[in-house]
A and B are shown apart, each in its own frame.
Chain A
Amino acid sequence: MSISSVKHRLPHLRLGILLLLAVVLTACGGVAGGSWAGISSDLDGEMILVSYNQTVTALNAVSGAVLWEYPDEDNRNAQFFAVPVADNGSVYVGDYSGRLHAIDSETGTALWVYEPERETLIGPLSPEAPDRVISGVALSPDLAFFGLGSRNVVAVSREDASEVWTFETEHGVWGTPLYLDAEASPSGEPMLLVTSLDHHLYALNPETGDELWRVNLGGAAPGDMLADPERQRVYVGTFGAGVVAVDVANAEIVARFETEDWVWGNPAMDGDRLYIGDLGGNLYAVDITEDGLVQDWKQNLTTEALRGTPLVIGNLVIVGSEDGRVFARNTEDGTGVWATNVEAKVLTELVSVEDEGATRVVAGTDNRERLIVALNVDNGQGAWTYGDN
């Protein structure tokens, strides 16, 4: 092709470049929904609940067989990535349209759906963009509490899905709120704790949504909290400010553990020890002492993120990584016991289930064909998988 013929194609070339730009920009938009699967187990450990894309699926914890899917095929008009929470015969899960669904845990049918009211201007036009529920759900006997991707915390009645109150933070609430009942709360009154990407930990009155106090954590807190009722503390992972221990009785930070990289998942606790994974691939064992949070050991497992909360089973601490591996380390010194490559990013929380004396760890991946994998805790070998195939 001569340069002169190229000249006549210049506008075509420019258009081509722009279209290429369009394709690349669209491709850069990320995977559908922009999140990983939410997984949890029911209270009995008999059922694994998976929220991913258009469905919430209940799996038999032992075999991985599908028990039910929600919603049915004709009504799949929502995206689910938040962690489902099972309680008292119901499963609560938020979707990427800002709605909260209550599902019968036996049948997988809808009990109710809460949909936030949106102010409209002209026709369907609303100044409020549809919101996302990224967080899990905290439950009191009467209310369900969840955060919204934009900045609100919402309380709805578990009975009839009516909205009881909303509380506005200054950024997204992605972590699951933590409900402390009267017994667990240091004040003797129930308390709702909420972390926000605005760097704060909020304490709210769960009945009214009134703010009781707030603490600046020093960094965004996208993950869940770990309650330590014995010390009347919560532990929160942050971006850039390590893991923070907050005394909920006095509303103050009492300890901080600096990590090399950001911490998304909450720590796992085993006695007086915390296990923390960071987004730089480091796993830490930290002792809770009167002098604060003191590192016992640290292992760099990978250069990719350890996003989820570590899982402690016996003398193993197990964690999934963004580079597709699940690591089991000895709790005493962090030495490797086994590592299994599941060949897809493991960004979800890990869940343990029992099967006739054998323990399995269940992890979610970003591979639709192997969306859920169950591994034997003893050796890391696969027990079953669940996916599109």
Chain B
Amino acid sequence: MLDLIINPFITILLFLYQVLGGNVVLAIVVFTILVRLATMPLTLKQQRSTKAMQELQPELKRIQEKYKNDRERAAQAQMELYRQYGVNPLAGCLPLLIQFPILIGLYRAIVATLAATPLELLDLSGRLWVPSLASQVPLQSHWLWLNLAVPDPLYILPVLVVITTWLQQKLLMPATPSSSGGGQSDQAAAMSRQMMTIMPLMFGVFSLSFASGLSIYFIASNLIGIAQYAAMGRIDFRRLTGRVPEEETPKVVESEAVTVVEDAPAAEGTGKRAQGKKSKQRRADKPASSQPKAQPSASRPSPATAPIVKPKRAGIRDTRVEPRSKSKAKS
């Protein structure tokens, strides 16, 4: 099954190697750009979904607090919230799952074409969709001080892999709101922070033991990813210092409160509208610092004043750029 991915990848990589004058690093970089472009819709979807989930965090937290003694109803309210805003909590994972075989395919393609061992070279046979590309096999593995078929003996590439992976995560991952109330949101935030540490280290360990050609791919992929998002205006380099100015923190304005109507006890209110007002009031009392630090964007005209207006069943579209009057109308 994976052969359907690996074989064309190997063929494309060898073709690029041929047309780029036998420069293996250039071939890997161009190959990475092509794969990045091809998977861009998935990456964007993953980003949007993660961001949308982050923006719902205050509301989710409030639901947890409200129904802290009734997990069943908290779950119902959360589902209702997701339904109302058209957010699928699994949508952030799905693109990652889809990219999984692509990553494996890339890995296998690079390892097979560099062929450090006889079994790797043997594995290459029968995989070329264009037989004439056999004349390029195996790729020239020497570049600078490196033998790209084996790990970097100076450990420079593994270090670069760790740095660029961390950098990309730091710049691309939406900021995780800190919570004072504890609970699952805090756990999720802590886990996200752990991932920020674990992932770069994990790829660093890969680079220590695998072909350095693969490290070239990791580094190129990270840098291209950063450049890609920078070109789209989705990166704020101030995040590197961990300081996103307070005034740029967007406010959350609800269009409609979420509640669970069925089996609602009388003490919680008698109807949807009444509970909505109550919830809205409580939210207005919250200090600004407890609001989520949504990802700022250079392309947005005035993030400091533009409120987040949660669209009703409008998918995960960010409506902060819409005119204020329209937002108000929705509210």
Contact of B119 among A35, A197, A261 (CB under 8 A): A35
Q: Is the CB of B198 within 8 A of A25?
A: no
Q: Is the CB of B111 within 8 A of A28?
A: yes
Contact of B151 among A36, A129, A132, A240 (CB under 8 A): A129
Give the complex CA separation of A2 and B97 in angstroms.
Answer: 20
Which residues on the B side are within 8 Å of A7 (C-beta)? Answer: 53, 60, 78, 82, 89-90
Which residues on the B side are within 8 Å of A128 (C-beta)? Answer: 145, 153
Taking CB atoms and an 8 Å cut-off, the chain A residues in 155-190 that contact chain B are 170-172, 174
Taken residue by residue from 103 to 126, chain B's Cβ proximity to chain A (1 for < 8 Å, 0 otherwise) reads as 110011001000011111110011
Give the complex CA separation of A220 and B124 in angstroms.
Answer: 13
The interface residues of chain B, by DSSP majority, are classed as helix
User: B178 to nearest A CB, angstroms?
Assistant: 15
* Known contacts A10-B92, A22-B202, A240-B134, A125 near B153 by CB under 8 Å: yes
B270 at the interface (CB under 8 A from A): no
Which residues on the A side are within 8 Å of B121 (C-beta)? Answer: 222
A134 at the interface (CB under 8 A from B): yes
Q: Is the CB of A134 within 8 A of B184?
A: no
User: B121 to nearest A CB, angstroms?
Assistant: 6
User: B59 to nearest A CB, angstroms?
Assistant: 12
Give the complex CA separation of A28 and B206 in angstroms.
Answer: 12
Q: Is the CB of A149 within 8 A of B116?
A: yes
Taken residue by residue from 48 to 78, chain B's Cβ proximity to chain A (1 for < 8 Å, 0 otherwise) reads as 0000010000001000000000000011001
The interface residues of chain A, by DSSP majority, are classed as loop
Choose, from A13-21, A249-257, A324-332, A369-377, the stretch at the interface: A13-21
A264 at the interface (CB under 8 A from B): yes
Give the complex CA separation of A198 and B103 in angstroms.
Answer: 29
User: A49 to nearest B CB, angstroms?
Assistant: 18
Give the complex CA separation of A7 and B77 in angstroms.
Answer: 13
Taken residue by residue from 135 to 159, chain B's Cβ proximity to chain A (1 for < 8 Å, 0 otherwise) reads as 1011011100111001111110000
Choose, from B26-34, B185-193, B309-317, the stretch at the interface: B185-193
Q: Is the CB of B79 within 8 A of A4?
A: yes
Which residues on the B side are within 8 Å of A20 (C-beta)? Answer: 100
Which residues on the A side are within 8 Å of B131 (C-beta)? Answer: 240
Q: Is the CB of B120 within 8 A of A5?
A: no
Q: How large is the interface on B (under 10, 10 to 19, 20 to 34, 35 or more residues)?
A: 35 or more
Give the complex CA separation of A121 and B184 in angstroms.
Answer: 50
Q: Is the CB of B117 within 8 A of A33?
A: yes
> Which B residue sits closest to A199, measured CB to CB?
B135
Q: Is the CB of A239 within 8 A of B137?
A: yes
B227 at the interface (CB under 8 A from A): no
Contact of A279 among B119, B126, B147 (CB under 8 A): B126
Contact of B147 among A2, A4, A129 (CB under 8 A): A129
Which residues on the A side are within 8 Å of B152 (C-beta)? Answer: 129
Q: Is the CB of B138 within 8 A of A171?
A: yes
Which residues on the B side are within 8 Å of A17 (C-beta)? Answer: 93, 96-97, 100
B15 at the interface (CB under 8 A from A): no
* Known contacts A25-B104, A129-B150, A8 near B187 by CB under 8 Å: yes
Give the complex CA separation of A28 and B214 in angstroms.
Answer: 13
Q: Is the CB of A171 within 8 A of B141?
A: yes
Which residues on the A side are within 8 Å of B75 (C-beta)? Answer: 2, 4-5
Chain A interface (Cβ < 8 Å from any Cβ of B): 2-8, 10-15, 17-22, 24-25, 28-31, 33-36, 81, 121, 125-130, 132, 134, 149-151, 170-172, 174, 197-199, 218-220, 222, 239-241, 261-262, 264, 279-280, 305, 307, 322, 347
Instruction: Report 30 cross-chain contacts, Cβ distance below 8 Å, ordered by A residue.
Output: A3-B79, A3-B88, A3-B89, A3-B90, A4-B74, A4-B89, A10-B89, A10-B92, A11-B191, A11-B194, A15-B194, A15-B198, A18-B199, A18-B202, A20-B100, A22-B206, A28-B111, A34-B119, A35-B117, A36-B119, A81-B118, A128-B145, A129-B150, A130-B153, A150-B141, A172-B138, A219-B137, A240-B131, A240-B135, A307-B122
